[in-house]
């Protein structure tokens, strides 16, 4: 079998199937992480959980295992995340207001 071309071996293995071959595409890594997305993830954890990490370690460190990027959030950064969230939740839309 080692002397045969890969296409021949493939046809012999899957002779009953209607298999299509595509040109190979180059592999590439393209991470979409960002500080904003990590901040959003911290907001989803909740203020209490994030504050407990701040108390324990002094800051929150998130490491993307895909692209090796590290994101650090100190207590001021965390406070800004949650203040912005609380402000956006407290603002009502103009159509909801009645005079």
State pLDDT tens for residues 1-10.
788 888 888 8
15 vs 22: CA distance, rounded Å: 17
Write down the CATH number for the domain with range 31-90.
3.90.1280.10
A 10 A CB-CB count for 85 gives 15
Q: Tell me which of 34-38, 57-61, 72-76, 84-88 is least confident.
A: 84-88
Domain boundaries, the chain: 31-90
pLDDT (average), residues 76-87: 82
């Amino acid at each position: 079998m080692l002397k045969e071309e890969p296409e021949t071996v493939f046809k012999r293995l899957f002779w009953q199937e209607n298999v299509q071959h595509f040109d190979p595409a180059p592999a590439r890594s393209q991470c979409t992480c960002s500080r904003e997305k990590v901040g959003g993830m911290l907001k989803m954890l909740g203020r209490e959980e994030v504050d407990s990490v701040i108390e324990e370690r002094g800051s929150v460190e998130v490491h993307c295992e895909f692209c090796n990027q590290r994101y650090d959030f100190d207590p001021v950064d965390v406070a800004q995340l949650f203040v912005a969230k609380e402000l956006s939740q407290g603002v009502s839309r103009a159509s909801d207001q009645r005079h």
